[in-house]
Structure 1
Amino acid sequence: MLFLLLDFFKQFSNAEKVTVVDSTANGGSGITISTPSLHDLQIYGVIVTILLCFIVFGGVKIINKVAPAFLMPVLFSILCIYIGVLSAPGLNSPKGITGLSTTTLVDNWSADYQRTNDAGVPDPNGALLGLFFPAVTGIMAGSNRSASLKDTQSSIPIGTLYATLLTTMMYLLSVFLFGALATRQELLTDRLLTATVAWPAPAVIHIVIMFMISWAFTVVSLALASLIYYYVSLKGKAGDWGDGFKSAYFQLALRSLRSLGANQVHPKNWYPIPLIFCRPWGRLPEDVPCHPKLADFANFMKKKGRGMSIFVSIIDGDYHESAEDAKAVCRQLSAYIDDKRCEGVAEIIVAPSMSDGFRSIVQTMGLGNLKPNIVVMRYPEIWRSENLTQIPSTFVGIINDCITANKAVVTVKGLDEWPNEYQRQYGTIDLYWIVRDGGLMLLLSQLLLTKDSFEDCKIQVFCIAEEDTEAEELKADIKKFLYDLRMRAEVIVVTMKSFEAHADGSSRIDDTQEAYTSAQNRIKVYLSEMKETAEREGRPLMEGGKQVVVNEQKVDKFLNTMLKLNATILRHSRMAVVVLVSLPAPPLNQPAYCYMEYMDLLVENVPRMLMVRGYRRDVVTLFT
C-alpha cells in the first residue's frame, strides 16, 4: 500500500505554474507564479480522508459526538477572520491588501476571467455553480434534520429558519468583505488570503517558524510548558479562595443541570437512571457493602456502561448515634463502586426502619431531571425459608412507594446466577408483555443485547389475547410496532384458551400445581391466625397500621392467575436465558403476606427472571 501511494504521488508534478495576465498593463504582459508543491496537499488530503472515513463508518453517534469539536474551531476561525478583515491592512501586509475600500469593491465588481492555461474561455454558469455548491450543503444538511427537533412547530421558525438566514447572510457578507479588502490579482494569487488577514497571524507564524528552525526543540519546549501548566493547575498554591478548576466544574455542572429544565424528558431522550438498593434484606456479610452482581446488572441497564447510577444502603438506627458509621459505610461503598468501574455515586441513609428510609430516598434522591427513575433490587427468595416475617410488608411498601413516586421497578430473581461481562449467553430473552409499561421491558431487552454477554441472544415477545380471532390481528399490530421501532423480535401470541388448557391439564406443571396448593394452604393458615388475633383483641384486621379486607375468592383468583402465568412461562421459556415479566401491583387492602405468596408462585422454577413495572409514561416512541 505504501508503494502504491508513493507511485500515486509521483504522477503529479513538483509544482503548478499559473500565468496571470494583467489586462491593465500595456500589451497584456504575463506574470508566471509558481504555487507550492502538491505533495503536501496530497498527503494531508489522504490523512484527512482516512480520518473522515473512520468517523463516517462509526455512524451517526460518533458524528454527533465529534460535531461540537469541529464546530468550535470553525466559529473561532470565522471570528478571527472577521477581526483580521476589519483591522487590515497590517504593518507587514502585502500591497494587494488595501483594507476595506469602496474603490477596491468597485474595481472587483465586474467579471474579468483571466486567460490562463487552464481556462482560456470563461467557464459556463453550471461549472461555476458546481464550484460554489459545496458551500451551501451544510445549510441544507441542517435543514434536513428538522424532524428530529423536540418541538417542530416552534423550533423550525425560531431555530432552523433563523439559522439558515444567518448562514446565508454570513456567506454573502464574506463575499462583499473580501471583494472590498484586496485587489483582483491578490484574490487570484493568494490562496491563503484568509490566513494572511486573520487574527492573530503572527502567533501562528511564530509557532511555524519554531518548527522550521528545530522541530525537536519546539516539541520539547511545548511539552515542558504544558507540564508546567498542568503542575500549577494540579498543585496550585493553597489558599482560602479554593480551587479555581473545581469552581469552574461546579458552575458548568450547575448550568448543565438547569439547562435540562424541570419538564419531563421526551421518550426519544429518555435514559435509565437506576437506584440500586444494595442491602434491602440484610443478608450480606458486614464487610460486603453490596451484592457483587447488582453492580454488574446496573451496568447492563446502561449502554456501554455509561450513565449515572445511585447505590443506596439503609442503616437501621438513630442518626445521631450512627452518623459516623454511615460515613464509614459510604466510603466503603464508594470504593466498591470504583472497583466495579461503575459510573455512580454512593448514598447511605440512617432511618428507624427500612420502610421509612426508603420512603425518604424515593422522595428526595436526585436533582431536577437527574432524579433516579428506576428502582433495582433483589427479589427476597429466602424470606420464607429463613422465616423473615418482616420482609413481606417491607417489599410491598417499597413497591407501593415506587408507584406513588412514579418510579419504575425492576426486581431481579436469580441474582446469584446472573452472568458477568465475560460469560456469554446463548438462547432467547423472553418478554411476557401483559401490562402496559410504556415499552420499558422492550428497552431493557435491547440494552441487554448491547452487552457482550447477551449479544448472541434473540428476543421473543409473548402477548395474551382474549380470543383466537384476535390473535392474528394482535400479532400483526405488535410486529408492525416493533418494526417501526427498529427492534428485532419474534412475536408469539398466547390465547386465553390455550393459556388455561396448559395450566389445567399438562404434566409439565405438577411441581407448580403442588406449589399452588401449598401457597393456598399457607394463606388460609395465615388469614385464620390474623382473624383469631383480631377477635381476641377486639379490633378489625390490621396490618402496618392499615385495615385489611380478606376476600378468599379474590385471593384464589389471584393465585390461579399466577399459576397459569407460571405454567405458560415454564412451557415456552424453560430454556430462556432470562425472562422479563410484568410486575403486578399489590392488591389494595390485602395482607402483604398474600402478595409474597403470589410472587413466589409466579417465579417458581424459573431460574432467572426480571419483574418489571413501568410508571405511567412511555420510554420508547415512534414520534419525534
Structure 2
Amino acid sequence: LTRKLSSLPPLWVIKKHWDGTGSEASTPPGSPEPERANASGLEGALDRKKKKRGSLSSLYHGPGGAKLSKEVLNNITIFQRKQKKGTIDVWWLYDDGGLTLLLPYILTTRSNWSNCKLRIFALANRRDELDMEQRSMANLLSKFRIDYGDVIVIPDAMRKAKDSSKADFEALIEKFKTSDNTGDGVTLTETELLSQREKTNRHIRLREMLLENSMDANLIVMTLPMPRKGHVSASLYMAWLDYITKGMPPFLFVRGNQQSVLTFYS
C-alpha cells in the first residue's frame, strides 16, 4: 500500500488538472473545429438559397422580358415549397372516376403538403338531402381509404345568384357580346346567352360558394366543367372558368375520363 501511494502524483498536480489550468485540460483537442464546420455549413446553405432565388428570377420572365414580382414567382413555384398548416379544398362536383379526389390526396402524402388537411365539398340540390349526402360521402371516402379532415355538403347549389355577382359576370363578358346572331365561336350572341343562362347561373353561384368557404385554402382542386360541343362557344366557356377562379387561392381544375382510379378491393 505504501509503494502504491508513493507512485501517485503530487496533490498539486492533481488539483492543477482538475481545475483545468493544465495545458492539456485548457486546450481540449479539436474543440474549435465543429464550430467552424457549422459556420461554414450555414454560409453554404445561405449561398445556395440565394443562388436558387436568383436562378428562379432569371428563369421566369413576364411579357417582353419584364422581371416578375416575388408574389408571382411564389405562385409559380408553389409545388416546390413547404406549405404551412392549412387545407386543400376539393370541390368534387361530378363523378369523373375519382381523379379529382386522388390527386389532392397524393399531394398530402408528400412532405411539402403534409401539413395540409383535405376538405371535401359536394353539392346538394335540396336541403333535406344534406344529412344523407354527407353520410354517403363520408362512407365512400372511408372505403377508398382517403384520409380527410372534413366533409361539407352545400345545399341550394341551384339557387339564383345574387344581382351583384351577375353584374360582375356581365362586366367580364361585355366586350365579347355582339348583336349579330351568327356566332363565330369567339363572340357571344344573345341567343347563346339565353340558352345557357341556367348553366351560367350555376357557375356564378359556384363562385359565391367558393368565396364563402375556400378563400383561406392553401389550394383549391375542382372538377373541370365540360361544355357540350357545338352548344357553348369558347368565349363563354372560358368566361365561366375565369370568373370562378378570379382572385382565388391557387386553383387546379381536374377532369377524369370516367374510368375509376380509386378502388377499395386492392
Question: Normalising by structure 2, what TM-score?
Answer: 0.64
Counterpart contact for 1:419–1:453, Cα < 8 Å = no
1:574 match: secondary structure: coil
Matched, 1:493 2:135: no
Partner residue in 1 for 2:126? 467
Gapped runs of 5+ residues in structure 2? Answer: 1-57, 64-72
2:249 match: secondary structure: coil
Q: Return the letter of the residue paired with 2:152.
A: I
Partner residue in 1 for 2:225? 584
Partner residue in 2 for 1:565? 206
Query: 1:542 offset after TM fit, Å?
Result: 4.2
Counterpart contact for 1:555–1:594, Cα < 8 Å = no
Query: 1:566 offset after TM fit, Å?
Result: 0.7
Q: 1:593 to 1:486 in 2, by over 3 A?
A: same
Counterpart contact for 2:85–2:116, Cα < 8 Å = yes
Cα offsets for 1:30-50 (capped at 9, x unmatched):
xxxxxxxxxxxxxxxxxxxxx
Partner residue in 2 for 1:191? none
Structure 2 Cα separation of the partners of residues 479 and 599 of structure 1? 28
Counterpart contact for 1:579–1:609, Cα < 8 Å = yes
2:159 match: secondary structure: helix
1:500 match: secondary structure: coil
Structure 2 Cα separation of the partners of residues 542 and 422 of structure 1? 43
Partner residue in 2 for 1:424? 83
Q: Return the letter of the residue paired with 2:144.
A: L
Query: 1:425 offset after TM fit, Å?
Result: 2.6
Partner residue in 2 for 1:352? none
Structure 2 Cα separation of the partners of residues 495 and 607 of structure 1? 23
Q: Return the letter of the residue paired with 1:426.
A: K
2:196 match: secondary structure: helix
Query: 1:551 offset after TM fit, Å?
Result: 2.7
Partner residue in 1 for 2:138? 479
Q: 1:418 to 1:494 in 2, by over 3 A?
A: farther
Partner residue in 2 for 1:436? 95
Cα offsets for 1:122-179 (capped at 9, x unmatched):
xxxxxxxxxxxxxxxxxxxxxxxxxxxxxxxxxxxxxxxxxxxxxxxxxxxxxxxxxx
Query: 1:479 offset after TM fit, Å?
Result: 0.6
Q: Return the letter of the residue paired with 1:517.
A: E
Query: 1:607 offset after TM fit, Å?
Result: 2.6
Counterpart contact for 1:516–1:559, Cα < 8 Å = no
Cα offsets for 1:98-138 (capped at 9, x unmatched):
xxxxxxxxxxxxxxxxxxxxxxxxxxxxxxxxxxxxxxxxx
Asked which structure has the greater RCO (Cα within 8 Å, sep 6+), the reply is 2
Query: 1:517 offset after TM fit, Å?
Result: 2.4
Cα offsets for 1:66-112 (capped at 9, x unmatched):
xxxxxxxxxxxxxxxxxxxxxxxxxxxxxxxxxxxxxxxxxxxxxxx
Partner residue in 1 for 2:215? 574
Counterpart contact for 2:83–2:116, Cα < 8 Å = no
Query: 1:543 offset after TM fit, Å?
Result: 4.2
**Between Structure 1 and Structure 2, how many residues are aligned?**
195
Q: Return the letter of the residue paired with 1:445.
A: P
Counterpart contact for 2:92–2:101, Cα < 8 Å = no
Q: Report the aligned-residue RMSD.
A: 3.0
Partner residue in 2 for 1:282? none
Q: 1:588 to 1:470 in 2, by over 3 A?
A: same
